[in-house]
């Protein structure tokens, strides 16, 4: 009698990558939701301007002449605002917001939940490797 253990690295890497990507996307959407609830309100344009981007990038060697096959992939995502006054509203702690919201409307929710996001991503990866 014998037992066999097989390792399929490509399948494992694909499962881990897919789980991590999904968890990152979920974390980005959660941060967007948290941030828009804290963004200052005047006309509502700022809250409506928050966007999420996610990229699955292939990284290539930086040095010329190196092997140009992909060296790995990076999962990156952003939550942000593009209105011209978004940065000032975020950074200027002296501004008053009589209709609601506050400064640091992106930074504060990120700092408050970054450990939760890290744990969520780690848990998703752990589940994918079971």
pLDDT in tens, 12-56: 888 998 999 999 999 999 999 999 999 999 999 999 999 999 987
pLDDT for residue 101: 97
Q: What is the pLDDT of residue 72?
A: 58
95, burial (CB in 10 Å: exposed 0-12, middle 13-18, buried 19+): middle
**Res 59: pLDDT:** 47
Residues whose CB is less than 8 angstroms from the CB of residue 94 and which lie 6 or more positions away in sequence, other chains included: none
Q: Could you give the count of Cα atoms lying within 13 Å of 35 in the half-sphere of its Cβ?
A: 27
Confidence at residue 61, expressed as pLDDT on a 0 to 100 scale: 46
Angle of helix 9-38 relative to helix 107-128, nearest 10 degrees, comes to: 160
Supply the pLDDT for residue 57: 57
User: For 61-81, what is each residue's pLDDT tens digit?
Assistant: 444 555 544 455 788 899 999
Take residue 89 and report the two structure tokens written for it.
């509203």
For residues 68 and 97, the model is more confident at 97
Going by C-alpha positions, the residue among 105, 100, 88 that lies closest to residue 42 is 100
CA atoms within 13 A on the CB side of 19: 19
Taking the model in full, what pTM does it have? 0.82
Instruction: Please give the helix or strand (H or E) that residue 76 lies within, else none.
Output: strand 72-80
Residue 67: per-residue pLDDT: 53
């Amino acid at each position: 009698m014998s037992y066999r253990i097989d390792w399929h690295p490509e399948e494992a890497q694909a499962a881990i990558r897919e789980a991590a990507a999904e968890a990152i996307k979920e974390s980005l959407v959660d941060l967007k939701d948290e941030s828009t609830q804290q963004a200052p309100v005047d006309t509502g344009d700022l809250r409506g301007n928050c966007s999420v981007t996610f990229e699955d990038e292939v990284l290539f060697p930086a040095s010329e002449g190196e092997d140009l096959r992909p060296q790995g992939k990076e999962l990156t995502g952003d939550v942000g605002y593009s209105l011209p006054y978004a940065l000032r509203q975020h950074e200027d702690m002296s501004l008053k917001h009589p209709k609601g919201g506050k400064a640091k409307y992106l930074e504060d929710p990120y700092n408050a939940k970054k450990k939760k996001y890290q744990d969520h991503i780690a848990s998703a990866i752990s589940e994918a490797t079971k």
